[in-house]
């Protein structure tokens, strides 16, 4: 796990434990955290990622995204 430092340029990264992948599922799923979710999603789409689905659970927001090769990852507001 990489912890976010307030002055750091990159977001917090977590490598969650997962089950064995199914066919077509990523072997590794990254969960990234950023203090400004909207700005981070905009930055990531600007460098080639695409939005798969914005999500919300109560006050907690995150966006499932995909890199240009289709590998999914999530960005959450923290």
The model's confidence at residue 8, banded by pLDDT at 50, 70 and 90, is low
- pLDDT of 2 reads 40
Q: Is the pTM of this model over 0.85?
A: no
DSSP string, 11-75: PEEE-----PPPTT--S--EEEEESSHHHHHHHHHHTT-EEEEEEEETTEEEEEEE-TT--EEEE
Question: Which tens digits make up the pLDDT trace of 10-61?
Answer: 555 665 555 555 545 667 788 899 999 999 999 999 999 999 999 999 999 9
- pLDDT of 78 reads 81
């Amino acid at each position: 796990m990489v912890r976010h430092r307030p002055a750091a340029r990159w977001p917090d990264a977590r490598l969650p434990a997962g089950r064995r992948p199914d066919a077509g599922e990523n072997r590794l799923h990254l969960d990234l955290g950023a203090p400004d979710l909207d700005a981070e999603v905009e930055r990531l789409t600007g460098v080639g990622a695409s939005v798969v689905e914005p999500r919300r659970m109560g006050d907690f927001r995150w966006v499932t995204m995909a890199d240009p090769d289709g590998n999914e990852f999530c960005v959450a507001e923290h």
